[in-house]
Amino acid sequence: MIGRANRNRETDCCLAQYTVGTVSTHVSDVYQRFREICLSLPETSEIFVDAWGHPTFRDGAKLKMFASCSSRDAERPGLGMKVELAHQQALVHTDSRFTVAAYVGKHGWINMDARDPVDWDHVRELVLESYCLNAPKRLAKQVAPGT
How confident is the model over 45-80, as pLDDT tens digits?
Answer: 999 999 989 999 999 888 999 999 998 778 889 999
**What confidence tier does 14 reach under pLDDT thresholds 50, 70, 90?**
very low
| Global pTM value | 0.80
Question: What is the distance between the alpha carbons of residues 72 and 74, in angstroms, rounded to a whole number?
Answer: 6
Start-to-end C-alpha separation, the chain:
36
Alpha-helical segments (H) within 61-136 = 85-94, 120-134
